């Protein structure tokens, strides 16, 4: 899809070491790129490589992190650390969605991301999805739906 002036921008930022979170992130990406969505350009980046430019480019963001020691991944926290102060006053109310690949209950990771997101401030547009254990076809479909829903919301001007 070619990028034009009226295109909205959806950025996906994720971290993955076991490929579980990566599989979920690419399902979000495929959903955002569904042929029914015509007015949104979507990019995907690993948290360790994502920069302030990705955040400033975005009209919405989807974040994906594994649960590490009951918290978000260090790479996701690093992304927040590197972008928080430079982004202040430039992304107020940025719509976001979150998915967590969890070995436990995922609550700590969700809570940590939500707390930081309120500080930016981002605007949560979907309930966080927590995937416990190995992602199933149902989880992949749920992530596809997240991507499609966030992209459709951007395209329709819902947020």
Tokens, residue 59: 């009209």
Instruction: Output DSSP code: residue 6.
Output: T
Q: Which residues pair with 46 in a beta bridge?
A: 14
Domain boundaries of the chain, sorted by first residue: 8-156
* Per-residue pLDDT tens digits of the chain, which is 159 residues long: 444 558 999 999 999 999 999 999 999 999 999 999 999 999 999 999 999 999 999 999 999 999 999 999 999 999 999 999 999 999 999 999 999 999 999 999 999 999 999 999 999 999 999 999 999 999 999 999 999 999 999 999 999
Instruction: Output DSSP code: residue 134.
Output: S
- Per residue, the 3-state secondary structure of 56-90, as one string, reads HHCCEEEEEEECECCECCHHHHHHHHHHHHHHCCC
Fold for the domain defined by 8-156 = Rossmann fold (3.40.50)
* Res 2: pLDDT: 43
Number of helical H runs and strand E runs in the chain: 5, 6
Give the Cα separation of 2 and 130 in Å (integer): 33
Residue 71 makes CB contacts below 8 A (sequence gap 6+) with: 77, 108, 109, 112
Using an 8 Å Cβ cutoff, are 154 and 39 in contact? yes
* Res 6: pLDDT: 84
Instruction: Output DSSP code: residue 151.
Output: H
pTM: 0.95
């Amino acid at each position: 899809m070619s990028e034009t002036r009226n295109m909205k921008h959806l950025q996906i930022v994720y971290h993955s070491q076991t490929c579980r979170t990566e599989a979920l992130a690419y399902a979000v990406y495929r959903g955002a790129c569904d042929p029914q969505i015509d007015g949104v350009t979507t990019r995907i980046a690993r948290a360790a490589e994502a920069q302030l430019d990705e955040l400033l480019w975005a009209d919405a963001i989807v974040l994906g992190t594994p649960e590490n020691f009951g918290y978000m991944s260090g790479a996701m926290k690093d992304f927040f650390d590197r972008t928080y102060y430079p982004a202040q006053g430039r992304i107020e109310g940025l719509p976001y969605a979150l998915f967590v690949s969890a070995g436990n209950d995922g609550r700590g990771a969700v809570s940590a991301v939500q707390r930081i997101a309120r500080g930016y401030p981002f605007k949560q547009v979907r309930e966080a999805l927590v995937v416990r254990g190995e992602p199933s076809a149902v989880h992949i479909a749920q992530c596809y739906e997240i991507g499609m829903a966030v992209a459709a919301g951007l395209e329709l001007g819902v947020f």
